C-alpha cells in the first residue's frame, strides 16, 4: 500500500489532521484544485459563493 497515498504530492499547508485523525484540506488547497466537489468540505471556499450549495446531510 506504499504507493497508494498521494500525500507526498501535497504541500504541508494543503491539509491538516483533525482531532479524530482525518485529513482535512485547507481552503488554499481547494482553491488550487480549482473546482467544488459538492461534498460540503469543511473549508470549501466555493460554498460561500453559491447560495444553492448543498448542505451536509445530518445523520
Residue 11 grid coordinates: 504541500
Q: Is the pLDDT of residue 34 over 60?
A: yes
Find the mean pLDDT for residues 41-51. Answer: 77
Task: Check if the beta carbon of residue 49 is closer than 8 Å to that of residue 55.
Answer: no
Residue ranges of domains in the chain: 12-52
- Between CA 51 and CA 47 the distance in angstroms is 7
Query: How do residues 7-19 score in pLDDT, each as one tens digit?
Result: 788 999 999 999 9
- Between CA 59 and CA 56 the distance in angstroms is 9
Phi, psi angle pair for 25, to nearest 5°: -75, 140
Could you tell me the pLDDT band of residue 53, with boundaries at 50, 70 and 90? low
Amino acid at each position: 500500500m506504499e504507493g497508494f497515498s498521494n500525500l507526498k504530492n501535497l504541500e504541508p499547508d494543503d491539509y491538516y489532521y483533525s482531532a479524530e485523525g482525518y485529513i482535512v484540506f485547507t481552503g488554499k488547497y481547494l482553491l488550487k484544485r480549482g473546482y467544488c466537489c459538492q461534498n460540503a468540505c469543511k473549508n470549501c471556499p466555493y460554498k460561500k459563493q453559491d447560495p444553492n450549495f448543498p448542505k451536509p446531510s445530518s445523520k
